[in-house]
Amino acid sequence: MPELPEVETIVRRLRLSLINQKILKVRVFTPKILRQPPALFAQRLRGAIIRDIRRKGKFILIGLEPKGMLIIHLKMTGQILLESKSKPYDQHTHVLFSFVSSPVQMRYRDIRKFGFMDLSSSGAEEDLPYIRKVGPDPFEVSPKIFFHLIHNKNKSIKSLLLDQSVISGLGNIYVDESLFQAGLHPQTKAMALSPDQSQKLYRIIKNTLSQAIRFQGSTLRNFKKPDGKSGGFQKFHQVYRRKDLPCPVCRSPIQKMIVGGRGTHYCAHCQKMSYPNTNR
């Protein structure tokens, strides 16, 4: 599933091409992608002008004029591509957006068809039910707030960081990578982290995400940038999907286990379990 760096990469590229573009036509080939009837969806979008494109957690929010917002979630295999009108589209392309003064189309492609699009008549995030459930992302909080969000939770730190209602934007890749760099065992209870451990983890998460954004995300299987090219951060992964390969620090084999129903990669030697300090 695309995580914060991949979605941010998509948003930044879409801004370069689509801001102030007027939507000429929308074609829907797979109605299940939408949260309203295809004809109504296409009718409401026709003639709208794209004024703003931003990210909230893993959601893409496209602000429209005169009023409204297009909401996109890519789920596991969704892709947003900018391609020439003349380029044929394949059977996995489900929605096409054409523009009045642009030679490119915005195409939604999704092999597994788990992603979705919705259209809100409001342009305010607080009016969107999806967004009201989304917690702040790591770039929206301070170290103190981050500690407040996690310090009294009796969940594993891995599961808590994946909970989009607590901290948004993180998924398996960047949680595993951040916990490795922080030296924290994925099954450590969030409430066991000291203020210093929390601050270190917070700093590492932000640095990891920032570096991943700089390299335009991680491509392991399905993620593509809007130009169809792969991201580059997968070259820097230290534990994720590196089971049985040597740890870059201690050379012990990277291990894999299930935490909260999710495959989790870690180094048993470098990532030690922390336990709650009842005297704190």
Active site residue 3: yes
H, E, C per residue of 213-256 = HHCCCCCCCCCCCCCCCCCCHHHHCCCCCCCCCECCCCCCECEE
Digit-coded pLDDT (tens) for 12-22:
999 999 999 99
Question: Under DSSP, is residue 133 helix (H, G, I), strand (E, B) or coil?
Answer: coil
* Residue 143 known to be catalytic: no
The conformational region for residue 20 under phi > 0 = left, psi -120 to 50 = alpha, else beta, is left
Q: How confident is the model at residue 123 (pLDDT cuts 50, 70, 90)?
A: low
For the chain, residues classed under CATH 3.20.190.10 are 4-132
Is-catalytic flag, 2? yes
Q: Sheet of 69-73: strands edge to edge?
A: 49-56, 59-65, 69-73, 116-120
4-132 CATH, one of 3.90.1010.10, 3.40.50.720, 3.20.190.10, 3.30.470.10? 3.20.190.10
46 is catalytic: no
Catalytic: which of 3, 8, 125, 177? 3
* 151 in Cβ contact with 190 (< 8 Å): yes
> What pLDDT shows up at residue 278?
53
As a whole number, mean pLDDT of residues 175-194 equals 97
Q: How far apart are CA 33 and CA 133, in angstroms?
A: 21
| pLDDT tens-place string over residues 51-64 | 999 999 999 999 99
Residue type, 234: Q
pTM confidence score: 0.94
What is the per-residue pLDDT across 36-52, written as a single tens digit (0 to 9) for each? Answer: 999 999 999 999 999 99
Q: What is the location of CATH 1.10.8.50 in the chain?
A: 138-266
pLDDT at 67: 87
**CATH domain 138-266 topology:** Helicase, Ruva Protein; domain 3 (1.10.8)
Catalytic residue among 75, 241, 262, 276: 262
Alpha-helix runs per DSSP H in the chain: 4-18, 38-45, 129-132, 143-150, 157-162, 172-182, 195-214
Task: Give the pLDDT of residue 222.
Answer: 87
Catalytic residue among 5, 6, 55, 58: 58
